[in-house]
Structure 1
């Protein structure tokens, strides 16, 4: 009896040894992949989104796309090329608007949005952000004759703001909390919102200060405008925008961006694009 039992055990062990390995072992974890990195390597192309927002991203008269954020993204692109072992990487700059930038990312029209994107909790439901690379303040921009300097001066007034911007979300919150009865007129671009205010269609524009200074300084009469000392709402942290479902690509961009911001090269880029860009020209300089 004992001999018969031992023979059965030996037979069972011999069968298990002959079974394919996956049946007697746990499957190996799948290696993480990045759809964006795979696409970039396969196509030898990086599609970058931008908008006309000096000094961060804009197209020059000769067609060159440039600016502070574009400079950062160009370095990221070069690091991508080296890391993926590619000899060449073509960069396609694709114009996007406030309203279509998220759909442009999620439909793979662009791989990285390098225009001005404020990091906002509600947006993180649809997209991913890099760590912040610039912090701006939102202020009230108006024509001097309107005598608008503080939020309370906007009581019952009409203001313009770009559709889909973080500014509009912040303004709606402030309007409700302070019961200012402000009316909003939205536009597709920041430039259009500024023009509405400049042409007296609205009383004011609430906008990140560094963006406002660019429009004012390029106008025929910068002295006609005022920028409030009062800061409205929370600070605006800018980040690069990517698809939400690609953590490996986000991690790569974050690591490279961190290296750029700590490097001596960044001081040169910031000096070129940001120094003297954070204030309005005085009337005597016009």
Structure 2
């Protein structure tokens, strides 16, 4: 990608750290098609690609030809602490741009919108939230899905019990092993786990959408507006170019979502 930034001295704590260390630390999770480590050990995905393009711009702007990229596994509940401690500079996995989080972190402009749905075993015949009344569901802890489902559950007086997990995969397995009646997650994140299972036909994704839409963004440290602006300028150029359609076709189609999934 051709850079539009000119070389300049860093004007933010994050840029200072990247320039002095010669490294860019990216947090990620096993969440195909946005971020995942494949069987070959390579970390890739749609959001990882966006962050790699940010890294290309940083190499040019900071005159760091040998900028190293470190991909650091980071679970949902560790994201904010990892950013604020300097362990990671960007969280390049799935992060929902939520108002309640903006007091502790910053977000880039949104790059994808997902819908939260009910994932269940087909023979449980669960199609709506009402079908889950008084039952138990699994949701990853630290996720926006958990916050949003708690709100819906409370407002609709559904009395649904929630079991939380560290990862999306663990929450899916709870449902698949019948430890919970359903798994609540954004639809695009559910399809890879369904498609990689031994019997994909055993699972169903609800037509009903649960709660508000989930808008994904790159997560960054709070109080570093210069770095946030740098990331957003890079994303804006990508989104306004033909490259955006190429990336979407490569990573975000149903066929690719099924293919680009590595089972831990």
Task: Give the TM bin, normalised by the shorter chain.
Answer: over 0.9
- Give the number of aligned pairs: 251
Of 199, 204, 212 in structure 1, the residue corresponding to residue 177 of structure 2 is: 199
- Tell me the C-alpha RMSD between the 2 structures: 1.6
Once the two structures are superposed, residues 123-170 of structure 1 have per-residue CA deviations (whole angstroms, 9 ceiling, x without a partner) of 111100001000000000000011000111110010000001000101
Q: Which residue of 2 aligns with 1:167?
A: 145
Q: Which runs of 5+ in 1 are unaligned?
A: 1-30, 282-286
Deviation at 1:276? 2.1
**Contact preservation (8 Å) 2:10, 2:16:** no
Of 210, 216, 226 in structure 1, the residue corresponding to residue 194 of structure 2 is: 216
SS in 2 for 1:110: coil
SS in 1 for 2:75: coil
SS in 2 for 1:118: coil
Q: Which residue of 2 aligns with 1:264?
A: 242
Deviation at 1:271? 0.7
Task: Tell me how far apart the structure 2 counterparts of residues 183 and 277 of structure 1 sit (CA, whole Å).
Answer: 34
**Deviation >4 Å, runs of 4+:** 277-281
1:231 matched to 2:236: no
Q: Which residue of 2 aligns with 1:53?
A: 31
Written as runs of structure 1 = structure 2, the 5 A alignment for 1:113-128 is 113-128=91-106
Q: Which residue of 2 aligns with 1:141?
A: 119
SS in 1 for 2:163: strand
Of 58, 62, 85 in structure 1, the residue corresponding to residue 63 of structure 2 is: 85
1:112 matched to 2:85: no
* CA gap 1:128/1:200 in 2 versus in 1, 3 angstroms: same
Task: Tell me how far apart the structure 1 counterparts of residues 75 and 254 of structure 2 sit (CA, whole Å).
Answer: 27
Deviation at 1:81? 0.8
Task: Tell me how far apart the structure 2 counterparts of residues 152 and 211 of structure 1 sit (CA, whole Å).
Answer: 23
Deviation at 1:265? 1.6
**Contact preservation (8 Å) 1:209, 1:278:** no
Deviation at 1:85? 1.8
* CA gap 1:53/1:34 in 2 versus in 1, 3 angstroms: same
Task: Tell me how far apart the structure 2 counterparts of residues 79 and 43 of structure 1 sit (CA, whole Å).
Answer: 16
Report 1 or 2 for greater relative contact order, CA contacts < 8 Å, sequence distance ≥ 6: 2
Task: Tell me how far apart the structure 2 counterparts of residues 262 and 214 of structure 1 sit (CA, whole Å).
Answer: 28
Task: Tell me how far apart the structure 1 counterparts of residues 210 and 252 of structure 2 sit (CA, whole Å).
Answer: 21
Q: Which residue of 1 aligns with 2:5?
A: none
Scaled by the length of structure 1, what TM-score is found? 0.85
Q: Which residue of 1 aligns with 2:109?
A: 131
Of 135, 147, 151 in structure 2, the residue corresponding to residue 157 of structure 1 is: 135
Scaled by the length of structure 2, what TM-score is found? 0.92
1:273 matched to 2:251: yes
Task: Tell me how far apart the structure 2 counterparts of residues 154 and 254 of structure 1 sit (CA, whole Å).
Answer: 40
